[in-house]
Structures are given as structure tokens and as C-alpha cells.
Chain A
């Protein structure tokens, strides 16, 4: 088990370097000149332009730029943003906020998705099942930004239960509404995955055996059906964690959450390579670690799976 984990962590190194190289190149190759954007359409003297280019290494060829970036990375210097702040500080401010948002979304989709999924699966074809299926289809079909705006206007403006936007502190309580919007689509997927999996497993031989042994229904459902049905769900949730953190941009925009999505969007728009690469780098690490955790959960859920 330990060597398995170690091996996976070693794999992280080439993945990380490959991903940063790729992203660095992509930002480098996007059309447009970051310095021209800085001037905002106003005139800029050539001397100032040259000085700025040199300051951000933009006057050097791609490999030199990337090499310098990697070199600095080893001393934990992530570079400077155009606004004159350390990229490190930017990340330290924005990541915890997005992480809180993602945790809330994750909790909502996992808890409610699995509970509703199990109930629907056990009562296949009944009224609860059909209702939930139709509702989840609706949630999947409506784009996140529509859902976000509607909830913001109804809950935030008309009912006044919550403020329409999140304050600078972005506390857990304030993030419940945006977290709900962010988690709703995945909630529908989790629900449907669980439901299908439960339906498949409830006719399995071991379930019939368990029931025949005289085990109580709750025990059959939680220990025998649910545990075996969770494998596809956990796989989905693992991949979704990364997607939630990187893909919260729409939700963050609607509720004005000062998180990663907005930071990334701004950095890409202005061609601020160090910030983009740093954010994507951290997201890559989160993806890899989340998938590692998922793999280990497999072994926990299904004793037949072993890692040597």
C-alpha cells in the first residue's frame, strides 16, 4: 500500500512539469500582447514599453521564460502579477475561499445525491423515483448561470433571506447559496449514478443471500447494496472535486466570490502567465491527489480490490 502511494506521488512530478509547460506555452501562444492590454488603448511611450517587457521577461524567447519560471519555482518564488503582488499571496487569498465553496458543493451533492439516489433506486418506478428523475433532468438541462441568477434574485433580492453577493470574508454561511448552485448539477449526476447502481445491485445474489439470512432491511441497504453501489459514484466525485475548484468561475462571478475562478479568468485575459500557471499547477496537484484518494477508497469499499 505504501509503495503504491509513493509511486503515485512520484508520478506527480512529470505530470506537474508537463502540465505547467503546456499551460505556459498555451498562454505564451495566445494571440495578443499583454503590454498592449496594460496600456488600455491609451498611448504608451516605447521606452516604457521596453522597460515593462524586460520587467516581466516578456522580451525573452519561450524556453528562457519557462526556464526562469521553473528556476524560481524551486525557491518557492511564483513570480509577480501585473498588479505588483506576489502570485503566492494571490493564491493564499483565493484558494481557501474556493476550497470552502467546493467543500460545500461537494457535501451537498454527495449527501443529498446518495440519499435521494438510494431511495429512488429502491423504489424504482414509484412516484418518488419518477419525480426525482424529472427534477434532476431539469437541473441538468438548465445552465448554471440561469440557476444562479434565478436563485440570487429570488432568495437574495425578493425574499431577502441572504445577501445577493458574498462579503470579502466569504464565510461558510454566506457560501451556502453559491455552493448549492455550484453543486446542483453534479448532485443530479450523483443521484442518477447512485440510482442506476442501486437498481443493478439490489437483484445481485449476495443481496438475496443477505435478505434470506434474515438481515434487517436497513442493514441490507446500507452495508450490502449501498457499499457496493458507491464505486462509480466515488469515481465521479473524485474527478468532480477538481472540476468544482477550477470550474466555479460562473458561480463565483454571479455571487461575487473572491476565489480562484475570477483570478484565473482575469489572469488569462491579461496574459499574466505566472498567475495562470501557478493556479493550474495547484489544480493539477488537487486532481492527482483526489484521484489517489479515490483509488484507495476502492479498496476500502470492495475488499476484492488490493494494491500491492
Chain B
């Protein structure tokens, strides 16, 4: 394996990923598809969770991957991002606005306390109320009554859209029809909480009691989190191993050395400096597959010459067409990413890689020059400088932003320069205050597998992560139409129509889809990586 070509290794691992996914499918049907030792405690890499482990307060991967193992919601996602019922018996709606949710009877948290409809309603109300300062509170914004619990000096901390009918039934009323609401319910923010959590949420966050395939038995801060299988769990994600030991790593470099010496079982992020040789190092124990995330460059519409008009659109299109994405992927990522062909990600249901208008994302220096010249006729940009901002504390940012800068500079013959920010917080501070003086790097990782999650929060008028201050009536209309669709499938079609509008305006310039580069040790098998790039830990077995 050591001497084989990288392309061969790539093909091999891709084939392997396919077989493993098939194995994953087998597991859901019950039983252990691939065989192997189901008593082994596997070790996996993580970062120290940034906050206490509360569903509505966990918004980063370090805490998220633990939460997804120790909690479960109404639904969960399989490896392909397909929605699977967990605690939900049924989620019914006729108008995509009023939902009746029935949960399975006789379900228990890991401490034995019962899971009832109140476990959900109380947890969601807690997550939404501004006074609890939960980072994920915006996830509840579509529920009726959200504005009241978010108001300054709120008089109530209960959303009127949530009503308990009986022990196992509750209803949800949204403030507008949203067909992809059921898809969201597998996200961390929507997990239920036992009654005990509300007495002292901070203490609970340090010592959470959940209902997932595992329970947290030990949390040594900055060192590790120990998970044991939860006997009270009865769902599709049953643990196929003896537990998970999440080891906290300060750097992926250290984790990688542990992986190649079999001191770590699963790693979901090969560090940039090992990308060139990891497939040789690990052979058929490595994986490279796209997940639901992308990298983009945003040229905000509040910049002169880049306003949301014909001139600005032409310039954005010209810049997009002057970027040779494949070259950057080959040179910097050793082929480990896939060229973006839309604003979402390929693993999602409804993804279309041939949207009309997508040619603006294809490298075409001649056309790029032409469009830039047309824009120059409308108003002169001349020798003014366009900067592309990035934060230096993220590995690899500098390399790709500088490559983009050079390509745009050479292909359009204009004055472009990279603009480093010392930290993510500094960059985000300027971005969220709309004070940027140039373009900047952006990207999105899906919270839940849905096209809408890549569109609404980023490009809807005044949406929370609309960094470029994009606003289009036509697009907003298409979004609400998509949300009002009867089924998620119909919705996806409308969302793809909406993307055609974005192709013209380019509120962000898609570069490539993210891919997970990971690997596993000689001691484990049945390793699959999910739609979000996180391994399906519960399916991993010992050898």
C-alpha cells in the first residue's frame, strides 16, 4: 500500500466508504452488520466542549459530537442525512404550520426518569427564553411566541406555540408554514431534558443526564470524556461497542501521531501538514468524502462598486469566473475537496449539480475579463484595491485566500490583496457589524441536512448570518414558497429555483464543498463517516 499512487488509494477508500455505508444500513435493521468485538471501548478525538453540555447551548463540534451521543431527539439522521424517527411515533401536519407530535410511550432518560411530551416542551421553552442566554436560541425562532420570550424584560418564558396535549402528545404552532421543520428536529437544540435539568442548569451542563445511545460517566476537563452504553436507550442508533473515550486534543497533529501509532482509534480530521501522505500512511483505513459544508467568499453588497445592481453583479461574476478552483484544490488540499456547483452541499436530499446559471462558478478567464470590462463601462473601479479578509488562526485559511487573490489579480489584471485578521473573533466582529472594507472568507456547516439551512439563514433578508447584507424580494418570496411546500421534496425543488436567483447576484461566491479526511486504527472496524463529517461512533466495533 505504501507505494501505491494517491489516486489509487483514493479510489480504494471511496469504494470502501460505499461498502461501509452498506454495512451501516444493515446495522439499522438490527444486529451488527460487519461483525467484530462489540465490547471494545473505542477512543476518538475531540476538542474540549466550549460550554456546559446543554442542548440549546452547544453550537460547536467539540460539544456537539458528545451531545449527539448522549442525547437523542424526535428524529436523528443516518449516514446519508436521511431523517429517521427516534423518539417520534409520528409528526403530522396538514398545513406545514401546525404540527402534532406523538412520542413513543414508556421511554426513559439514562437515570430512569420518564420522557414525556413535557420533557420536550420545557426544554424548548428553556432554550428559547432570552434570560437563559442559550447560544442556539435562534433555532426556536419559527415557533409562535418566540418574540415574546426574547423581548427585553420578557413577561413570559413560555412560547404560546407549544402545547402539551397528554403524556405522549404535544402540538407545535409555527408563526409561518415551514415544511422543513420536521427535518430540523434532529439538531442538538431540539433534544429533550429531564425535569432535574431546570433546577440548576449550569450544574446539569457539567453532569448531563441524557437519553442517547450512551451516557456520560466521566468528564475530566481538557483530558477526556468517558461514555458508556445507555441500557435505557431503545432506538435505531444502538451502541455496537463497549463505550467511547473522547480524548481531548489541543492539536490535530498530536491526534494524528496517536492514530498512526494505534493509540487513537478514530480521527475525523487529518491535519493539513499530513494531508499529502495520510492515505499512504493509513492505506484502506483512511477516508475522504464530502460532507454538508462549503467554503465561500463574500463580497458584501454595502461596498462601493459591488452594490446589488448590474455593476456589482457583473463584478462578482467576473471574480467568480477568474478563480481556478480545481487548481487550488489540487495544490493546497491534495485533491481533498470537490468544486462547488451550487450554494448548498452534495450530500443533501434535493441537491442538483447542474442548476441553470451555474456556469458563473466555472473557471473562464476570458468571460471574466469581458464581464469586468462591462462593469467598468458602468462605473470605473480602475486601480482601487479590493481586499479579501481571512483569520490567520484557522489552519489553511492563509494559503487558499492568497491563492484566490493571486488568481483574481492575474486573470482580471486588477489590484487585489489579502487582508489577514489576527483572530476569528476579530474578523467576525467586523463582519457582524457590517464594517468590512473588502471581501472576506465565509463558509457554512449545516446544522441539519436540508437545502434551506444553506439558504435561509445566510441569504434571507436580515437573516442572522447574512454577512453580505444581501436582500432580494424575489429570493425571499421563493424561500417562503419553498417552506410552505407540502413535502420536503417539493420544497427542495423550489429552493433550487431560488438558487438560480443567487447565481445571478452571487451574494457569496461558492468555492468548494468541504470533505472529511479521516482515518482509523488497526484495532477497529465498521467505521463510517456521516453526512456532517462526524463518524457514526455507535457503529464502530473492535477487531
A residues contacting B by CB (< 8 A) are: 30-34, 36-45, 47-48, 50-52, 55, 82-85, 89-90, 93-94, 149, 152-153, 156-157, 160, 163-165, 168, 252-256, 258, 262-263, 266, 269-271
Say yes or no: A39 contacts B59, CB within 8 Å: yes
Cα A44 to Cα B447 in complex, Å, equals 14
The count of chain B contact residues (Cβ–Cβ below 8 Å) is: 58
What is the CA–CA distance of A227 and B424 in the complex, to the nearest angstrom? Answer: 52
Say yes or no: A83-B51 contact (C-beta < 8 A), given A32-B423, A271-B425: yes
B434 within 8 A of A: no
Nearest-CB residue, chain B, relative to A263: B222
Tell me whether B330 is interfacial, beta carbon within 8 Å. no
Nearest CB of chain A from residue B506's CB, rounded to whole Å? 20
Give, as a whole number of angstroms, the nearest-CB distance from A163 to chain B.
5
Complex interface residues of chain B between 394 and 430 (CB less than 8 A to chain A)? 421-429
Q: Which chain B residue lies CB-closest to A39?
A: B135
Binds A, one of B248-256, B283-291, B496-504, B524-532: B248-256
The total number of A-B Cβ pairs within 8 Å is 159
| Complex Cα spacing A50 to B426, Å | 19
What is the distance, in angstroms, from A34's C-beta to the closest C-beta of chain B?
Answer: 6
Q: Report whether B263 and A163 are in contact in the complex, using a CB–CB cutoff of 8 Å.
A: yes
Contact: A157 with B261, CB < 8 Å? yes
Question: Beyond A43-B457, A164-B261: 8 further Cβ-contacts under 8 Å?
Answer: A39-B428, A47-B151, A48-B135, A48-B137, A85-B206, A85-B221, A168-B220, A253-B253
Q: Interface 1/0s, chain B 155-182, versus A by CB < 8 A?
A: 0000000000000000000000000000
Question: A-side binding surface: helix, strand, loop or mixed?
Answer: helix
Counting chain B CB atoms within 10 Å of each CB, which of A30, A38, A48, A55 scores highest?
Answer: A48
Which 6 A-B residue pairings sit nearest by Cβ, starting from the closest? Answer: A43-B464, A168-B223, A37-B425, A47-B130, A32-B426, A32-B425
List, in ascending order, chain A residues with CB within 8 A of B442's CB. Answer: 41
Q: Smallest CB–CB gap between B532 and chain A, Å?
A: 14
**Out of B223, B251, B261, B426, which one reaches A31, CB within 8 Å?**
B426
Query: With A32-B429, A43-B465 in contact, do A51 and B257 touch (Cβ < 8 Å)?
Result: no
Distance between A249 CB and nearest chain B CB, rounded to angstroms: 9
User: A156 and B261: CB pair below 8 A?
Assistant: yes
Partner among B51, B60, B253 whose Cβ is within 8 Å of the Cβ of A254: B253
Residues of B within 8 A of A262 (CB): 222, 250
Assembled-state Cα–Cα distance A38/B443 (Å): 17
Residues of A within 8 A of B221 (CB): 83, 85, 89-90, 93
Contact of A157 among B48, B257, B465 (CB under 8 A): B257
A residues in contact with B425, CB < 8 Å: 32-34, 36-37, 269-271
- Least CB distance, A270 to chain B, in whole angstroms: 7
Residue of B nearest to A84 (CB): B52
